Amino acid sequence: MDFGVIADNLGYFLVGPWPDGPLGGAALTLVLSVASALISALLGLAGGIALSLLQGPARTALRLVLGFFRAIPVIMLIFWIYFLLPVAFGLDVPGVGTVIVALSLIGGAYLAHSVHAGIESLSRGQWQAAAALGLSRWGALRWVVLPQALPAMAPSFINQWIALIKDTSLAYVIGVAELSFVAAQVSNREIVYPAEIFLFIALLYYLLCSALELCAGRLAARYHRYQTP
Amino acid sequence: MNPSPVIIEIDRVSKYYGSFKVLEDCSVQVRRGEVVVVCGPSGSGKSTLIKTVNGLEPVQQGRIVVDGVTVDATSRSAAALRARVGMVFQNFELFPHLSVMDNLTLAQVQVLRRSRDEARERGLAYLERVGLAGQAAKYPAQLSGGQQQRVAIARALAMDPVVMLFDEPTSALDPEMVGEVLDVMTALARDGMTMMCVTHEMGFAREVSDRVVFMDGGRVLEDVATAVFFGDPAGHTPRAREFLSKLIRHG
């Protein structure tokens, strides 16, 4: 094994052609991950809350939409947004935007079910106590239910976000120069070092995911300081 | 005879789950300052009945009026009504993620729009009234069951309710903690609070209540003055006699 190839291309692995060209490599993977993590969390929260508060046909409609996004493969959604939207609606979505939208929608659909389950896991008595004090359903959710349910949802969020970091590698199919894409580029150029290159790339993914888990764990621990019966 | 205005008017209320009748044609009145105890065997519908008063349990038939406002569990106005009706639950239902003080101030600030300072001040006053002035900074899990239930009573009182509803407030407590909760309730009754209590505590019923409502099978079988209820057993319906004899034997 000759890891000199890593040292020679380190800058390209980490940031792509930047600053002479657009950002790429590990840095772009990070940008894609953080953006989709934040948007999927917001979508998941909104979707989960809506699932808990809505009733009747609106709820059924939302379930169908969420079910749709959970059922289709990420790669297919990326293709649709990138190739179908321009044809169908004349909307031209850039590659980076496409990946963020696709990962956010699918991650959001998964998280919505986690949030909904977390909300439902709280006893009926807490809802009733909040209602008995005159809080609206929204007030009960905001002040009583969510503060108790969210810490329990943390593992679901972390799982989903880790899956999401790895799914950013699917961006290569539309030529977005994230980590996997630049790795393939370098590997094709250097020809004889695929083992070294992809071992190193695996290490970078591992570091990204571990860093997320570490940060989230710290945050959750701080949030858990309060007492539960 | 009684000149006080009616605060709770439960008028021919029925409630079903599918074809199963939980409440059947129930009527009860509670006047201002009255303490009414609702008792009966488990499954008699007494907890359901008391939860219809603040609209936590919707009803299919009949009408409930609280302090001049018709209760409609499904409408948005239900929240405004609930803010004026205090309720104490069997399992306390304090909010475990909030300190005792935050439990007391949450609805005062969010529902009644009181300032934080005013809410804290009232919270402290009611904590003192239930004998827990020193516990404001603690979390519910750090308190005993009896203390938690007293906090729950203070939380309801801090909203300045026109009436207090108690749903088996001592049933989940260890026996040695029942007394401290009943003492608070007794003091509240002596101060003139209008109260409707679902309870098996017949000592409390006998000493504190004005009237006793006996329920069985979703129906109100008796609604009589306390002295009459604990008077001549011959005056009772057979179900009430059986219930009372069991309570006296076991309790």
Tell me the pLDDT tens digit for each residue of B7-54.
Answer: 999 999 999 988 889 999 999 999 999 999 999 998 899 999 999 999
Task: Quote the tokens at residue B17.
Answer: 């789950």
Comparing B6 with B235, the larger pLDDT belongs to B6
pLDDT digits (tens, 9 = 90+) for A22-36: 888 899 999 999 999
Model pTM score: 0.86
For residue A224, is pLDDT > 70?
A: no
Exposure b/e, A145-154, CB count within 10 A at least 16 = b: bbbbbbbbbb
Chain A hits for B80, Cβ within 8 Å: 134
Give ipTM to 2 decimals.
0.92
Phi first, then psi: what are they for A20, rounded to 5°? -80, -25
pLDDT digits (tens, 9 = 90+) for B194-210: 999 999 999 999 999 99
Please name the residue that has the structure tokens 């580029």: A185
Query: CB-based burial of residue A20 (10 Å sphere; 0-12 exposed, 13-18 middle, 19+ buried)?
Result: exposed
pLDDT digits (tens, 9 = 90+) for B95-120: 999 999 999 999 999 999 999 999 99
Distances (CA, A) of A218 to A69, B2, B8, B227: 31, 63, 51, 62
pLDDT digits (tens, 9 = 90+) for A105-149: 999 999 999 999 999 999 899 999 999 999 999 999 999 999 999
Give how far B56 is from chain A: nearest CA, Å.
Answer: 7
The pLDDT of B75-90, averaged and rounded, is 90
The verdict on a CB contact (< 8 Å) between A132 and B85 is yes
**What DSSP character marks residue A178?**
B
For residue A227, is pLDDT > 60?
A: no
pLDDT digits (tens, 9 = 90+) for A149-163: 988 888 889 999 999
Whether B17 and B191 have beta carbons less than 8 Å apart is answered as no
Q: What is the pLDDT of residue A9?
A: 84
Please name the residue that has the structure tokens 């609280």: B66
CA–CA dist B97, A147 (Å, integer):
7
The verdict on a CB contact (< 8 Å) between A133 and B93 is no
Residues of chain A in Cβ contact (below 8 Å) with chain B: 125-126, 128-136, 139, 143-144, 147-148, 226-229
Q: How confident is the model at residue A10 (pLDDT cuts 50, 70, 90)?
A: confident
Q: Which of B3, B24, B6, B2 is nearest to B15 (CA)?
A: B24
Of B51, B54, B107, the CB nearest to A135: B107
pLDDT digits (tens, 9 = 90+) for B127-180: 999 999 999 999 999 999 999 999 999 999 999 999 999 999 999 999 999 999
The verdict on a CB contact (< 8 Å) between A227 and B141 is yes
Whole-number average pLDDT of chain B: 93
**What DSSP character marks residue A170?**
G
Q: CB distance from B203 to chain A under 8 Å? A: no
The pLDDT of B58-69, averaged and rounded, is 93
For residue B3, is pLDDT > 80?
A: no
Chain A hits for B106, Cβ within 8 Å: 133, 135, 143-144
Phi first, then psi: what are they for A173, rounded to 5°? -65, -20
Chain B hits for A143, Cβ within 8 Å: 95, 106, 110
Residue of A55, A123, A126, A133 to mutate for B, most B C-beta atoms under 10 A: A133
Distances (CA, A) of B144 to B53, B166, B172, B180: 29, 19, 12, 11
Of A131, A147, A227, the CB nearest to B142: A227
Whole-number average pLDDT of chain A: 89
Task: Quote the tokens at residue B118.
Answer: 């005013």
B98: nearest CA in chain A? A226
CA–CA dist B151, B143 (Å, integer):
9
CA–CA dist B82, B76 (Å, integer):
11
Q: CB distance from B102 to chain A under 8 Å? A: no
